[in-house]
C-alpha cells in the first residue's frame, strides 16, 4: 500500500505495473511483443545498427551521423583504460570472488576505478561531467569483466585493442582471438537488444540510488547487486544446461514431463512481461540459424516440442521462448564460456543503467515511496522493565 493525503491506495505485490517515474529512454509493450529505445524499435536497432549507435541514441536522443559516431567511438576508446592502482588490485579481487564470479568482482573493481578517478557525487557534478562518468563506467566495464575472468583462470589479462569496437573488443579480451564478422554481428545484436528493458529490478535500483545524489559508480554497483539475484539475473547458461540434460530430441517429452511433475521450470521459456513471443528470442533464433550446425538444429527442435508440451500441460498460458534460450546459443557460438554469459549481459545493460542514472539525476527528486504498516496495533504502553539478574 502507498499513503497519499492520508488515503491508502492499493498497490500490487512487487509494484507490478505501478508507474514509478517518467522516462524518455524507452518502453516495453508486453502484450504487443514490442519494445523500443527512444523512438526506434530495439530489435530493428539490434539487427541493423551497431552497439555504439544504440548507446549514442540513449545518451543523446538521436542516432549519430558518421562524424559523430567516430568521435563517440574515440571517447569510448579513451575511457577503457584501467588505472594502474586498480590494475594492481585485480588479482586480489579475482582471488576474493567465489568461483571466479566476475560480476561480484566487478562491483569491487568499479568502486576502485571511481576512487582512482576521483568521481564525485551526482549531486555535486555538472551534467557534462555526469555524462563523462557514464561513458567511463560503461566503457571500462567489459575490460574489467574480461580481466577478472582471465585472472580467475590463471591467465594474464589482454590489453584492449584500439582497432576493435566495443563488441569485437570484448570478444577479443574474453576469447583471446579477433572474432569473425559473423560472430561480431551476432553478439552485437544480442548486446544491443540487452541494453535496456523497462523498469526491471536492476534499472529501478540504479535510479533509486541515483535519486539520492550518490556517485554514478555506486548506482551501477547497486544495479549489479540486484542483477546477482537469481530471480532477476537471467539464466542463459541454465537454458543450455537444459539442452545438455535432454541430450537428444527423442528424450524431450520424458524430460519435460518429469521436470514439470516435480514442480520444476523449463529454463528459457516464459516471461513476466511478454504475452506473445519475446521479440529478442525471435531475432536471436535467426542469428543462431545463420551459424547452422547440429547444436542449433537441436535447439530449434527442442523449442518447438517444448512449446507443444507446455500448451498441453499448462493450458491457457502463453509460454514461448524468452531471450535467455537463444542468447545462450548465440554466446556459445561466439566462443563465450558459460560463466561469462551473465557478465556479458551486464556489459550491455550497463549502458542502459547509466542512461537511466543520468535521467534520474537530472530530475533531482529523491525516490521515497511509502509503505502500509501491517504489524501489531500501535501505540501500546511499554511493559515494565524486567529486573536484571543479580
Q: Are 191 and 310 contained in the same domain? A: no
How are beta strands 26-29 and 34-37 bridged, if at all? antiparallel
Q: Are 203 and 122 contained in the same domain? A: yes
Active site residue 312: no
Q: Are 124 and 185 contained in the same domain? A: yes
16: confidence class by pLDDT, cuts 50, 70, 90: confident
Determine contact, residues 328/240, Cβ cutoff 8 Å: yes
Q: Residue 220 above 70 pLDDT? A: yes
The per-residue pLDDT for 6 is: 47
Q: Which of 27, 327, 382 is nearest to 189 (CA)?
A: 327
Which is more confident, 216 or 383?
216
Report the first-to-last Cα separation within the chain, whole angstroms. 47
Q: Are 197 and 249 contained in the same domain? A: no
What CATH code is carried by the domain that includes residue 57?
1.10.580.10
| Catalytic option among 149, 271, 320, 356 | 271
Cell representation of residue 19: 508507474
Q: What is the pLDDT of residues 250-278, one digit of tens each?
A: 999 998 899 888 887 777 676 666 567 78
Which domain does 120 fall in, by range? 35-233+336-363
Mean pLDDT of 300-324: 80
Taking the model in full, what pTM does it have?
0.91
Active site residue 271: yes
Q: Residue 211 above 80 pLDDT? A: yes
Domain membership of residue 121 (yes or no) is yes
Q: Are 154 and 281 contained in the same domain? A: no
Domain membership of residue 125 (yes or no) is yes
Mean pLDDT of 88-109: 93
Q: Residue 4 above 80 pLDDT? A: no
The lowest-confidence range among 197-201, 233-237, 262-266 is: 233-237
Q: Are 148 and 284 contained in the same domain? A: no
Domain tally, the chain: 2
Q: Are 89 and 229 contained in the same domain? A: yes
Task: Kindly calculate the radius of gyration of the chain based on its CA atoms and give it in whole angstroms.
Answer: 23
The per-residue pLDDT for 133 is: 98
Mean pLDDT of 195-200: 93
- The mean predicted confidence, pLDDT, of the chain is 90
Q: Are 221 and 163 contained in the same domain? A: yes
Q: Are 156 and 74 contained in the same domain? A: yes
Domain membership of residue 373 (yes or no) is no
Q: Are 269 and 327 contained in the same domain? A: yes
Q: What is the pLDDT of residues 154-183, one digit of tens each?
A: 999 999 999 999 999 999 999 999 999 999
Cα-Cα-Cα-Cα torsion 183, 341, 339, 272, nearest 10 degrees, comes to -160
Q: Residue 204 above 50 pLDDT? A: yes
| Catalytic option among 303, 324, 332, 356 | 324
The per-residue pLDDT for 1 is: 38
110: confidence class by pLDDT, cuts 50, 70, 90: very high
Q: Which of 272, 267, 276, 290 is nearest to 190 (CA)?
A: 290
**What angle do the packed helices 201-211 and 216-227 form, to 10 degrees?**
150
Domain membership of residue 292 (yes or no) is yes
Which is more confident, 227 or 238?
227
Mean pLDDT of 277-292: 91
Spatial strand order in the sheet of 40-41: 26-29, 34-37, 40-41
Contact partners, residue 83, CB within 8 Å, separation at least 6: 112, 113, 116, 117
b/e per residue 58-97 (b: at least 16 CB within 10 A): bbeeebbeeeebeebbeebbebbbbeeebbebbeebbeeb
Q: Residue 316 above 70 pLDDT? A: no
Q: Residue 98 above 90 pLDDT? A: no
Domain membership of residue 186 (yes or no) is yes
Which is more confident, 15 or 48?
48
**Whole-number Å distance between alpha carbons of 331 and 329:** 6
The per-residue pLDDT for 3 is: 44
The per-residue pLDDT for 343 is: 95
Long-range Cβ pairs for the range 61-68 (8 Å, 24+)? 61/24
Please tell me whether residue 62 adopts helix, strand or coil conformation.
Answer: coil
The per-residue pLDDT for 2 is: 43
Domain membership of residue 64 (yes or no) is yes
Mean pLDDT of 108-132: 97
242: confidence class by pLDDT, cuts 50, 70, 90: confident
b/e per residue 145-158 (b: at least 16 CB within 10 A): bbbbbbbbeeeebb
Q: Are 190 and 69 contained in the same domain? A: yes
What CATH code is carried by the domain that includes residue 281?
1.10.230.10
∠ at Cα 282 (220, 45), nearest 5°?
55
Can you say whether the dihedral through the CA atoms of 43, 48, 50, 55 is positive or negative? negative
Q: Are 219 and 253 contained in the same domain? A: no
Determine contact, residues 119/135, Cβ cutoff 8 Å: no
Q: In the 8-state DSSP scheme, what is residue 160?
A: P
Question: Could you give the percent of the chain with pLDDT greater than 90?
Answer: 69
Which is more confident, 3 or 129?
129
∠ at Cα 51 (205, 328), nearest 5°?
75
Give φ, ψ of 385 to 5 degrees. Answer: -65, 135
Domain membership of residue 1 (yes or no) is no
Q: What is the pLDDT of residues 46-80, one digit of tens each?
A: 999 999 999 999 999 999 999 999 999 999 999 99
The per-residue pLDDT for 129 is: 98
Domain membership of residue 9 (yes or no) is no
Amino acid at each position: 500500500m502507498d499513503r497519499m493525503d492520508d488515503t491508502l491506495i492499493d498497490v500490487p505485490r512487487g509494484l507490478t505495473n505501478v508507474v514509478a517515474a517518467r522516462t524518455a529512454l524507452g518502453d516495453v509493450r508486453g502484450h504487443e511483443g514490442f519494445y523500443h529505445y527512444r523512438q526506434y524499435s530495439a530489435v530493428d536497432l539490434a539487427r541493423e545498427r551497431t552497439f555504439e549507435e544504440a548507446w549514442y541514441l540513449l545518451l543523446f536522443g538521436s542516432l549519430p551521423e558518421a562524424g559523430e559516431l567516430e568521435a563517440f567511438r574515440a571517447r569510448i576508446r579513451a575511457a577503457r583504460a584501467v588505472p594502474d592502482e586498480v590494475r594492481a588490485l585485480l588479482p586480489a579481487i579475482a582471488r576474493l570472488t567465489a568461483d571466479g564470479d566476475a560480476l561480484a568482482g566487478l562491483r569491487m573493481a568499479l568502486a576502485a576505478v571511481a576512487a582512482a578517478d576521483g568521481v564525485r557525487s551526482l549531486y555535486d557534478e555538472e551534467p557534462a561531467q555526469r555524462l563523462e562518468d557514464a561513458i567511463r563506467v560503461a566503457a571500462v566495464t567489459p575490460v574489467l569483466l574480461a580481466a577478472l575472468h582471465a585472472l580467475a583462470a590463471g591467465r594474464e589479462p589482454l590489453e584492449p585493442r584500439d582497432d576493435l569496437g566495443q563488441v569485437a573488443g570484448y570478444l577479443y579480451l574474453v576469447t583471446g582471438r579477433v572474432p569473425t564478422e559473423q560472430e561480431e554481428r551476432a553478439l552485437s545484436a544480442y548486446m544491443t537488444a540487452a541494453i535496456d528493458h523497462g523498469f526491471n529490478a536492476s534499472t529501478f535500483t540504479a535510479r533509486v540510488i541515483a535519486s539520492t545524489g550518490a556517485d554514478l559508480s555506486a548506482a551501477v554497483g547497486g544495479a549489479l547487486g540486484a542483477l546477482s539475484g537469481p530471480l532477476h539475473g537471467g539464466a542463459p547458461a541454465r537454458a543450455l544446461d537444459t539442452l545438455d540434460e535432454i541430450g537428444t530430441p527423442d528424450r524431450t517429452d520424458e524430460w519435460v514431463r518429469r521436470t514439470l511433475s516435480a514442480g520444476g521450470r523449463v529454463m528459457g521459456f516464459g516471461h513476466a512481461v511478454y504475452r506473445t513471443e519475446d521479440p529478442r528470442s525471435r531475432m536471436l533464433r535467426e542469428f543462431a540459424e545463420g551459424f547452422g550446425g547440429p547444436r542449433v538444429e537441436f535447439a530449434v527442435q527442442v523449442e518447438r516440442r517444448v512449446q507443444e508440451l507446455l500448451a498441453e500441460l499448462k493450458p491457457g498460458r502463453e509460454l514461448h521462448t524468452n531471450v535467455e534460450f537463444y542468447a545462450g546459443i548465440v554466446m556459445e557460438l561466439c566462443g563465450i564460456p558459460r560463466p561469462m554469459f551473465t557478465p556479458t549481459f551486464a556489459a550491455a545493460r550497463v549502458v542502459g543503467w547509466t542512461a537511466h542514472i543520468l535521467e534520474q539525476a537530472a530530475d533531482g527528486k529523491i525516490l521515497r515511496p511509502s509503505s502500509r504498516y501491517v504489524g501489531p496495533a500501535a501505540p501500546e504502553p511499554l511493559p515494565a522493565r524486567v529486573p536484571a539478574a543479580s
